Structure 1
């Protein structure tokens, strides 16, 4: 049921919001040098790497690191707005449609986040697809605390349900959680 929901909603959302993704990508490109859409390798289900798509919110040439290890000065002015409204995540609808991600699940990390990967592996978190949003995100827990994050992710994996996922989506839409914060 979860995969059917993911495919149906991501397809409908891409049809309805595809124009917005294109407009935002053009605005990103016009506001700072570099591409509008950013693709980054992330760790997915079964620890399989995949290319995760986002609207670019950081200056071109910013070191590839977790958000909490990235200086706030690297975020573009438009990027700040996109991150605040979580619009930078819209291109991940393609990842959901392709089966690399789900709407709800543990947020995918970078391959260099060894502590988080090891903690998630130990706790069985890689049994599920990563998500655009998740339990940890609506609780305001980001990747700067990998042990705590992996524990919350494992709680999600153990207790996941379709109604629970719908609740997490609703909490995200109404502004729950802060997402990954950049270093100040």
Structure 2
């Protein structure tokens, strides 16, 4: 099924077709369950070390952080991460919005004062994302897919941008392995929509392998 194109060459995703890809979705879900389950077991020593580091820096703060994100069809769910910011980070966001370094409905700031020392390291190597394996096991997320947005971000989405929410969000995706924070919001949307239209099991596996290399050779993550 080829993607439809508008005059300015932008991708228009066929939602009906995506929802009818039963074989691909079944295999993808099967791989997600097996891989996330094994990942949680095999990476348990990494979870332990990161947890110790977070507690050593801030003994009174929690190890994990959960945040409401929007998934497929704008369904809200709690996404889990290792805490990489100070405890009251959300309360301080409003004052930092003016310093946003990316255009569009997304907030990114390279020298965000809310990020802890441990947080800076685990973000750089994408270790803060590991608890999302639990989201994959539960079924809220997939291993590969578009980044799950915040509710306030989606409030600023155009109808075109909302096409990102046609499929289940992922722990990693084409945006994450293509420069991540070096790619602006519009570029992220285009990468996500192109991923959706060209997605298949082999494409997903390729993105997963590229993600593993980023842990050791970080790209634009911060």
2:65 corresponds in structure 1 to 38
Cα gap change, 1:110/1:69 in structure 2, threshold over 3 Å: closer, same or farther? farther
- The structure number with the bigger radius of gyration is 2
Q: Are residues 1:106 and 2:146 paired?
A: yes
Deviation string 1:133-153 (CA, Å, 9 cap, x unpaired) is 111111114498333322221
1:54 pairs, out of 81, 93, 118, with: 81
CA–CA separation in structure 2 for the residues paired with 1:158 and 1:82: 31
The count of corresponding residues between Structure 1 and Structure 2 is 178
Flag structure 2 segments of 5+ consecutive residues without an equivalent: 1-26, 94-105
Equivalent residue runs for 1:8-157 within 5 Å: 8-32=34-58, 33-63=60-90, 67-69=107-109, 71-113=111-153, 114-116=155-157, 118-121=159-162, 124-142=163-181, 145-157=184-196
Give the secondary-structure state (helix, strand or coil) at the position aligned to 1:115.
coil
Cα gap change, 1:130/1:94 in structure 2, threshold over 3 Å: closer, same or farther? same
Query: Deviation at 1:164?
Result: 0.6
TM-score, normalised relative to structure 1 = 0.86
Cα gap change, 1:71/1:62 in structure 2, threshold over 3 Å: closer, same or farther? farther
Query: Deviation at 1:26?
Result: 3.4
After TM superposition, what 4+ stretches of structure 1 lie above 6 angstroms from structure 2? none
Query: Deviation at 1:96?
Result: 0.4
Query: Deviation at 1:71?
Result: 5.0
